[in-house]
Amino acid sequence: MSYGLTFTNNSNVVTLDSEYARLAVIATGRFAPTQESGLGSVTTFPVPVTSQEPPLVFVRPDTVGAIAGLCRMRLLGGPGNWTGFYVRAYNAISAQPNGRYFVAGFSAQPLATYGMSLWDGSGKLIFNSGTPAALFTRAFQNWTYVRTDNDQQGLTRNYYSVDFNFPENEYLLINSFGMGMTSSRSLYCWWDFPNQKLYAITVALGNPFAFWLPALFAKIAA
């Protein structure tokens, strides 16, 4: 760039640039069951996210000796005032929705009362010392088809898995598991802690086998 500010780390990797926004962590916290007999969870962010575009919510269910299943994620609020999110356990057999989350976006918010702020050429705040960075760590798209069965309503369920060691500091982007899919397919994720596998499950009346949705993981930079 011809002018501005750039920081690089010891590996000569750019960690802050006045032309490009980084993935900034707006808020962190925990989610817990709040409704639907312990199956549903509504979480309110400690501060609203003021971006026009929907923020990214990353979750890390508490490690349990069972399956933690999450689904039906949706954001609460709207453009300029995103206030929280909803997520639901897969069913009554899976663990209740308990765990940690962080919400992030590709813009900062003026949260720090002192420190440093940085704007791009258009006046958009892209860095504030009160919003730490989040780093994408890995993505899984090479799902292995496992099996097919039917739920109690007669809908077809396809199971896909990938080996995963579930590190405590990595969080899954849950937005992807709240969006609709083609052919009216519903989408769920399982964290199978005992067998160290991450599952994606699609449910539909007519359920094709093709499945390519990536599972994205990130962590908060130290």
Question: Where does residue 92 rank: exposed (0-12), middle (13-18), buried (19+ CB within 10 A)?
Answer: exposed
Reply yes or no on whether the pLDDT at 181 is more than 70.
Answer: no
Q: What are phi and psi of 122, to 5 degrees?
A: -90, 0
Strand order in the sheet with 156-163: 40-49, 81-89, 67-78, 186-192, 197-204, 156-163, 144-150
Summary mean pLDDT of the chain: 88
pTM value is 0.88
**Residue 78 has what pLDDT?**
97
Residues 6+ apart with CB under 8 A from 210: none
Average pLDDT over residues 178-207: 85
Q: How do residues 44-77 score in pLDDT, each as one tens digit?
A: 999 999 999 999 999 999 999 899 999 999 999 9
Reply yes or no on whether the pLDDT at 172 is more than 70.
Answer: yes
**Residue 180 has what pLDDT?**
65
Average pLDDT over residues 155-169: 93
Token pair for 141: 């798209």
Task: Provide the 10 A C-beta neighbour count for residue 172.
Answer: 25
Token pair 């006046």 is at which residue?
123
- Per cent of the chain over pLDDT 90 is 56
Q: Which CATH architecture has domain 139-215?
A: 2-Layer Sandwich (3.30)
**Residue 79 has what pLDDT?**
96
Q: How do residues 81-103 score in pLDDT, each as one tens digit?
A: 999 999 999 887 889 999 999 99
Average pLDDT over residues 139-162: 91
Average pLDDT over residues 141-160: 90
Domains of the chain, residue spans: 6-136, 139-215
Cα separation, 83 vs 40, in Å, equals: 17
